[in-house]
Structure 1
Amino acid sequence: MGRITETVKVLLIINVIFFVGSQFLGDYAYQLFALWFFENDNFMAWQFVSHMFMHGGLMHIVFNMYALWAFGGPIEQMLGQKKFIFFYFSAGLGAAFLHTLVNYIEFKTGYNALLDAGMSMGSIEQLLKTGEYSTAILDSVPRETLQGLYQSVNTPAVGASGAIYGILVAFGMMFPNVELFLLFVPVPIKAKFFIPALILLDLFSGLTGYSLFGGGIAHFAHIGGALFGFIMMWYWKKNQFNQNRWD
């Protein structure tokens, strides 16, 4: 957590450029670069990468870029530049994959529930497009199911958080006893305790829908980034990655 390494600096600059650009382009930027569910007309394949550089607001990008600076530099120094780039984008793609998979499961569950309740495919398509539905269906299907189905298709994912969770896991594995000083915790906490606790909190929030940090958080994207980050670091540590840097 010292000087800014070269790749981290470039990533910071790209994220800031995307954020500033999105302030000028508004919704159009999010239509193009946020990660939409593949049933949405806005979905494009490049969004699996571009969404990593989009953010939902000032505090969102500030926290993510602070974490990238604080934890990314030491990991880049350990892995080497090329391996760090591979690691960063792989964790981000892993996050997008798990987020999309969970979204798909929720979508299919809700879609099938509506079909079983007697809702026509045309009415379901109208719901997915506009969010509108006949109140008569509420006798058979909870309102939450209808809202959840609509949101699964029409709520895009943005942010570097998935890739950063991969970096956090790598940091915890490489520097487990480093004490982290956090704004919202008055005492230092070792990385090997704080980072697993953060991931477990995301898992709890993803499974229950209850979040200490409010709504609109892609918890399973965080978990996906952490999982893919762990797999890569476990493999590289097992194969003595420090002797095979990709400089």
Structure 2
Amino acid sequence: MNQFSPNTQFSVFPPAVKYLLIWNGIFFLATVSITGGGWTPLGNLLAPFLVLQPLGDGFLPWQLVSYMFLHADFSHIFFNLFALWIFGQALENLWGTKRFLLYYFLTGIGAGIVQILVSDGSTIGASGSVFGILLGFGMMFPDNRIMLLFPPIPIKAKYFVAMYGLFELFNGLTRTDSGVAHFAHLGGLVVGFILIKLWKLKKPQSYA
């Protein structure tokens, strides 16, 4: 068995997804004030070192990883981790834990690089990696149906990913002051696509 062998038994909480959920939760509880909002005292102390800062304005290389474990509020972390679990478990079971974990961090790092190249603001959140995972799910399970909330209709994963990518591109170009790192999301999509093609990852047999 090589280091990138798929998991042989399906798990709802495979190792990488499980521990990413746990560590994101730990960082959130340590750095964000649940009652009053904003950073905790520890969060204020760590933020200059862990938040992804603009080039030449506090940037440190490890911030390309540490920013993925920081979130602004409960809704921010909830939707990121919910998507990580829903879509990530399928990819980790298909690819194996080591490849999935490498994919997760490379898409997040790529998203961070794109963001600091196009923005002069600070960035936090796992959204870049989550968008990479969404792209991976759309490519590996293109005909799986995802239920939209508004309107509540099912749509194939491949169309959902394409629509979301165009939506993020539009917002990145037109809503530069929205406070959302749209280009980080696009970076996660692009890096995910490159990795899947570079690694020559294929759909499961039943989806060929």
Which is richer in helix? 1
Q: What is the CA RMSD across the aligned residues, in angstroms?
A: 2.0
SS in 2 for 1:189: strand
Alignment of 1:150-169 (within 5 A): 152=120, 155-169=121-135
Q: TM-score, normalised by structure 2?
A: 0.84
For 1:199, the equivalent position in structure 2 comes to: 165
Mark the structure with the bigger radius of gyration.
1
Task: Choose the corresponding residue for 2:197, options 202, 214, 234.
Answer: 234
Matches within 5 A, 1:1-247: 3-23=12-32, 24=40, 25-40=42-57, 42-103=58-119, 152=120, 155-209=121-175, 215-237=178-200
Number of aligned residue pairs: give it.
187
C-alpha contact 1:4 1:73 (8 A) present in aligned 2: yes
Instruction: Give 5+ residue unaligned stretches, structure 2.
Output: 1-9, 33-39
Structure 1, unpaired ranges of 5+: 104-151, 243-247
Same amino acid, percent of matched pairs: 44
Q: Hey, what's the Cα distance between the residues in 2 that align with 1:193 and 1:207?
A: 21
Q: Give the Cα–Cα distance (whole angstroms) in 1 for the partners of residues 82 and 106 of structure 2.
A: 20
Determine which structure has greater relative contact order: mean sequence separation of CA pairs < 8 Å that are 6+ residues apart, divided by chain length. 1
Superposition TM-score, scaled by structure 1 size: 0.71
| C-alpha distance in 2 between matches for 1:21 and 1:13 | 12
Structure 1 SS opposite 2:199: helix
8 Å CA contact retained: 2:53, 2:123: yes
Q: Deviations over 1:37-83 (max 9, x none)?
A: 1221x322110100010111110000000000000000011111111
Secondary structure (helix, strand or coil) at the match of 1:17 reads helix
